[in-house]
Structure 1
Amino acid sequence: MQPKSLQMKNFGPFIDEKLDFSQLQAGGLFLISGKTGAGKTTIFDGMTFALFGETSGNLRSGKEMRSMFASPTEETSVTFTFEHQRFTYQIQRKPEQTLAKKRGDGVTNQTAKVQLTIFDADGKEKKQISKRTEVDAFIKDLLQLDAKQFFQIMMLPQGEFRNFLIASSNEKERVLRNLFGTEMYQQFNEWLKEQVKAQSRKLEHQQLVASQIMERFEWEEVQEVLTVAECLTLWAQDLEKQQIQLQKLLQRKDQATQEMKAAQDAFYRAKEIENARIEWQELQEKAQLLNAQKNEIDQKKARLTQLVWALEHQEIMQQKEERVNEAQQAAQQIDETKQLLQDVQRQQVSWQDQRPLIEETKKKHEAANQRSQQIQQQIPLAQRTEKQREEVAQQEKAAQQQTSKLTKITQVLANTKTQEQQLVEKIETLRTFQTEALKLAETQLLIEKWQQAKALVREAEQKTGEQQLIHSDLVLEKQQLETSLLELQKTLKQETSQNARMQIARLRLLLEENEPCPVCGSLDHPNAQEHTTYPIEDILASEQRLEQMQEKLTIVQQQVSANQTLQEQALLRINEWQATSVSAEKQAAAAWNDVQQAYARLQPFETQEKLTEETIAQELKKRQSINQQKASSYEAAQKTYQAVKGQLTKLDESYQQVSEQAKKAEEARQLAAGKLASLQEQLGGATYQQLQADLASIHLLLREYTQQIEADARQEAQIKEQQAILSEKLKNVQQFFEEKQAAKAKAEQRLMQRLQEAAMTEEAMRELIAQAPQTTLLTEEIKTYEQETAFVQQRLILLDTQLKEQATMDLIQLETTYLQLQTVMEKLQQETVRKQEKVNSNQRLFDELQVIYQKNVEELAQLGQLQQLAETINGENTKKTSLERYVLQQFLTEILEVANERLSRLTRGRYQFELADKVGSYRSSTGLEIDIYDDNAGQVRRAHTLSGGESFIAALALAISLADVIQQRAGGIEIEALFIDEGFGSLDEESLEMAMEALEMIENEGRMIGIISHVRELRARILQQVFVETNGSGQSRIRIKE
Structure 2
Amino acid sequence: MQPKSLQMKNFGPFIDEKLDFSQLQAGGLFLISGKTGAGKTTIFDGMTFALFGETSGNLRSGKEMRSMFASPTGETSVTFTFEHQRFTYQIQRKPEQTLAKKRGDGVTNQTAKVQLTIFDAEGKEKKQISKRTEVDAFIKDLLQLDAKQFFQIMMLPQGEFRNFLIASSNEKERVLRNLFGTEMYQQFNEWLKEQVKAQSKKLEHQQLLASQIMERFEWEEAQEVLTVAEGLTLWAQDLEKQQAQLQQLLHQKDQAIQEMKAAQDAFYRAKEIENARIEWQGLQEKSRELHAKKNEIAQKKAQLNQLVWALEHQEIMQQKEERVKEAQQATQQINETKQQLQEIQQQQVSWQDQRALIDGIKKKQEAASQKVQRIQQQIPLAQRTQAQQEEVVQLEKAAQQQTTELTKINQAQASAKAQAQHLAEEIEALRGFQAEAVKLVETQALVEKWQQAKAQFREAEQKAGEQQQIHSELVLEQQQLAASLLELQKTLKQETSQNARMQIARLRLLLEENEPCPVCGSLDHPNTQEHTTYRIEDIIASEQRLEQTQEKLTKIQQQVSANQTLQEQATLRISEWQATSAAAQKQVAFAWTTVQQAFAALQPIENQETITEETTVAELKKRQSFNQQKAASYEDAQKKHQAVNEKLATLNESYQQVSEQAKKAQEARQLAEGKLASLQEQLAGATYEQLQADLAKTNGLLREYTQQIEADARQEAQLNEQQAILSEKLKNLQQFFEEKQAAKTKAEQRLTQRLQEAGMTEETMRELIAQAAQTTVLSEEIKTYEQETVFVQQRLALLDAQLKEQAAIDLNQLEADYLQLQTVMEELQQETVRKQEKVNGNQRLFDELQVIYQQNVEELAQLGQLQQLAETINGENVKKTSLERYVLQQFLTEILEVANERLARLTRGRYQFELADKVGSYRSSTGLEIDIYDDNAGQVRRAHTLSGGESFIAALALAISLADVIQQRAGGIEIEALFIDEGFGSLDEESLEMAMEALEMIENEGRMIGIISHVRELRARILQQVFVETNGSGQSRIRIKE
TM-score range, shorter chain: 0.5 to 0.7
Counterparts in 2 of 1:262 and 1:628: CA distance versus 1, 3 Å: closer
The answer on whether the counterparts of 1:218 and 1:838 sit within 8 Å (CA) in structure 2 is no
Q: Letter of the 2:63 partner, please give it.
A: I
Deviates more, 1:177-186 or 1:640-649: 177-186
Deviation string 1:810-840 (CA, Å, 9 cap, x unpaired) is 5566666666766776677677667766666
The answer on whether the counterparts of 2:580 and 2:1034 sit within 8 Å (CA) in structure 1 is no
Q: What is the rounded CA distance, in whole Å, between the counterparts of 2:496 and 2:265 in structure 1? A: 94
Q: Letter of the 1:32 partner, please give it.
A: K
Aligned with residue 205 of structure 1, among 204, 208, 213: 208
1:989-1004 equivalent positions in 2, closer than 5 A? none
1:521-600 equivalent positions in 2, closer than 5 A? 568-597=568-597
Confirm whether residue 330 of structure 1 aligns to residue 330 of structure 2. yes
Q: Which residue is 1:755 aligned to?
A: 755
1:46-195 equivalent positions in 2, closer than 5 A? 189=192, 192-193=195-196, 195=198
The answer on whether the counterparts of 2:177 and 2:183 sit within 8 Å (CA) in structure 1 is no
Q: Which residue is 1:196 aligned to?
A: 199
Confirm whether residue 804 of structure 1 aligns to residue 804 of structure 2. yes
Q: Which residue is 2:63 aligned to?
A: 32
The answer for unaligned runs of 5 or more in structure 2 is 1-48, 55-61, 76-108, 119-126, 139-144, 165-169, 511-517, 520-529, 904-912, 932-940, 974-980, 986-1009, 1015-1032
The answer on whether the counterparts of 2:447 and 2:595 sit within 8 Å (CA) in structure 1 is yes
Q: What is the rounded CA distance, in whole Å, between the counterparts of 1:868 and 1:419 in structure 2? A: 107
1:212-227 equivalent positions in 2, closer than 5 A? 212=215, 215-219=217-221
1:482 Cα shift? 8.3
1:979-990 equivalent positions in 2, closer than 5 A? none
Query: Once superposed, what is the RMSD of the aligned Cα atoms?
Result: 6.7
Counterparts in 2 of 1:206 and 1:371: CA distance versus 1, 3 Å: same
SS at match of 2:63: strand
Counterparts in 2 of 1:142 and 1:930: CA distance versus 1, 3 Å: farther
Counterparts in 2 of 1:338 and 1:939: CA distance versus 1, 3 Å: farther
SS at match of 1:216: coil
The answer for unaligned runs of 5 or more in structure 1 is 1-24, 44-76, 87-120, 124-138, 146-151, 512-518, 521-525, 905-912, 932-937, 975-983, 998-1015, 1023-1042
Q: What is the rounded CA distance, in whole Å, between the counterparts of 1:451 and 1:649 in structure 2? A: 54
1:722 Cα shift? 2.3
Q: Letter of the 1:586 partner, please give it.
A: K
Q: What is the rounded CA distance, in whole Å, between the counterparts of 2:254 and 2:484 in structure 1? A: 91
Q: Which residue is 1:790 aligned to?
A: 790
Q: What is the rounded CA distance, in whole Å, between the counterparts of 2:914 and 2:677 in structure 1? A: 121
Deviation string 1:671-717 (CA, Å, 9 cap, x unpaired) is 23222222222222223333233323322332333222222222222
The answer on whether the counterparts of 2:880 and 2:922 sit within 8 Å (CA) in structure 1 is yes
Q: Letter of the 2:766 partner, please give it.
A: R
The answer on whether the counterparts of 1:276 and 1:799 sit within 8 Å (CA) in structure 2 is yes
Counterparts in 2 of 1:204 and 1:930: CA distance versus 1, 3 Å: farther
Q: What is the rounded CA distance, in whole Å, between the counterparts of 2:318 and 2:892 in structure 1? A: 117
1:36 Cα shift? 13
1:204 Cα shift? 0.3
Q: What is the rounded CA distance, in whole Å, between the counterparts of 1:142 and 1:597 in structure 2? A: 51
Deviation string 1:244-287 (CA, Å, 9 cap, x unpaired) is 67767766666666666666655555554454444433333332
1:375 Cα shift? 1.9
Q: What is the rounded CA distance, in whole Å, between the counterparts of 1:582 and 1:705 in structure 2? A: 125
1:425-444 equivalent positions in 2, closer than 5 A? 429-431=429-431
Confirm whether residue 745 of structure 1 aligns to residue 776 of structure 2. no
Q: What is the rounded CA distance, in whole Å, between the counterparts of 2:343 and 2:427 in structure 1? A: 111
Counterparts in 2 of 1:679 and 1:867: CA distance versus 1, 3 Å: same
Q: What is the rounded CA distance, in whole Å, between the counterparts of 1:300 and 1:36 in structure 2? A: 134
Deviation string 1:59-87 (CA, Å, 9 cap, x unpaired) is xxxxxxxxxxxxxxxxxx9999999999x
Q: What is the rounded CA distance, in whole Å, between the counterparts of 1:487 and 1:752 in structure 2? A: 152
1:182-581 equivalent positions in 2, closer than 5 A? 189=192, 192-193=195-196, 195-209=198-212, 211-212=214-215, 215-219=217-221, 269-418=269-418, 429-431=429-431, 446-469=446-469, 568-581=568-581
Q: How many residues align?
A: 817
1:880-891 equivalent positions in 2, closer than 5 A? none
1:767 Cα shift? 3.3
1:377 Cα shift? 1.6
Q: Letter of the 1:694 partner, please give it.
A: D
1:548 Cα shift? 11
Deviation string 1:974-1002 (CA, Å, 9 cap, x unpaired) is 9xxxxxxxxx9xxx9xxxx98999xxxxx
Q: What is the rounded CA distance, in whole Å, between the counterparts of 2:764 and 2:404 in structure 1? A: 121
Q: What is the rounded CA distance, in whole Å, between the counterparts of 1:887 and 1:407 in structure 2? A: 111
Counterparts in 2 of 1:347 and 1:230: CA distance versus 1, 3 Å: same
The answer on whether the counterparts of 2:52 and 2:136 sit within 8 Å (CA) in structure 1 is no
Provide TM-score, normalisation by structure 1: 0.60
1:790 Cα shift? 1.7
Deviates more, 1:671-680 or 1:253-262: 253-262
1:396 Cα shift? 3.4
Q: What is the rounded CA distance, in whole Å, between the counterparts of 1:282 and 1:787 in structure 2? A: 17
Deviation string 1:412-454 (CA, Å, 9 cap, x unpaired) is 4455555555556555555555665666666565555544444
The answer on whether the counterparts of 1:169 and 1:926 sit within 8 Å (CA) in structure 2 is no
Deviation string 1:718-772 (CA, Å, 9 cap, x unpaired) is 2222222233233333333333333333333333333333333334333333333
Q: What is the rounded CA distance, in whole Å, between the counterparts of 1:731 and 1:195 in structure 2? A: 117
The answer on whether the counterparts of 1:172 and 1:928 sit within 8 Å (CA) in structure 2 is no
Q: Which residue is 1:764 aligned to?
A: 764
Deviates more, 1:447-456 or 1:913-922: 913-922
Q: Letter of the 1:710 partner, please give it.
A: E
Q: What is the rounded CA distance, in whole Å, between the counterparts of 1:605 and 1:832 in structure 2? A: 123
Q: What is the rounded CA distance, in whole Å, between the counterparts of 1:601 and 1:649 in structure 2? A: 44
Deviation string 1:42-67 (CA, Å, 9 cap, x unpaired) is x9xxxxxxxxxxxxxxxxxxxxxxxx
Deviates more, 1:560-569 or 1:278-287: 560-569
Q: What is the rounded CA distance, in whole Å, between the counterparts of 1:699 and 1:735 in structure 2? A: 55
The answer on whether the counterparts of 1:334 and 1:730 sit within 8 Å (CA) in structure 2 is yes
Q: What is the rounded CA distance, in whole Å, between the counterparts of 1:671 and 1:808 in structure 2? A: 153
Deviates more, 1:327-336 or 1:422-431: 422-431
| % same residue | 65
Q: What is the rounded CA distance, in whole Å, between the counterparts of 1:627 and 1:717 in structure 2? A: 106
The answer on whether the counterparts of 1:382 and 1:683 sit within 8 Å (CA) in structure 2 is yes
1:807 Cα shift? 4.1
Q: Letter of the 1:201 partner, please give it.
A: E
Counterparts in 2 of 1:428 and 1:896: CA distance versus 1, 3 Å: farther
Q: Which residue is 2:730 aligned to?
A: 730
The answer on whether the counterparts of 2:446 and 2:594 sit within 8 Å (CA) in structure 1 is yes
1:563 Cα shift? 6.2
Q: What is the rounded CA distance, in whole Å, between the counterparts of 1:741 and 1:495 in structure 2? A: 151
The answer on whether the counterparts of 1:881 and 1:927 sit within 8 Å (CA) in structure 2 is yes
Provide TM-score, normalisation by structure 2: 0.60
Q: What is the rounded CA distance, in whole Å, between the counterparts of 2:329 and 2:543 in structure 1? A: 123
Q: What is the rounded CA distance, in whole Å, between the counterparts of 1:880 and 1:812 in structure 2? A: 97
Q: Which has the larger radius of gyration?
A: 2
The answer on whether the counterparts of 1:330 and 1:736 sit within 8 Å (CA) in structure 2 is yes
The answer on whether the counterparts of 1:413 and 1:648 sit within 8 Å (CA) in structure 2 is yes
Confirm whether residue 704 of structure 1 aligns to residue 696 of structure 2. no
1:196 Cα shift? 0.6
Q: What is the rounded CA distance, in whole Å, between the counterparts of 2:461 and 2:544 in structure 1? A: 51
1:647 Cα shift? 5.8
Q: Which residue is 1:683 aligned to?
A: 683
Q: Which residue is 2:526 aligned to?
A: none
Counterparts in 2 of 1:414 and 1:157: CA distance versus 1, 3 Å: farther
Q: What is the rounded CA distance, in whole Å, between the counterparts of 1:353 and 1:79 in structure 2? A: 111
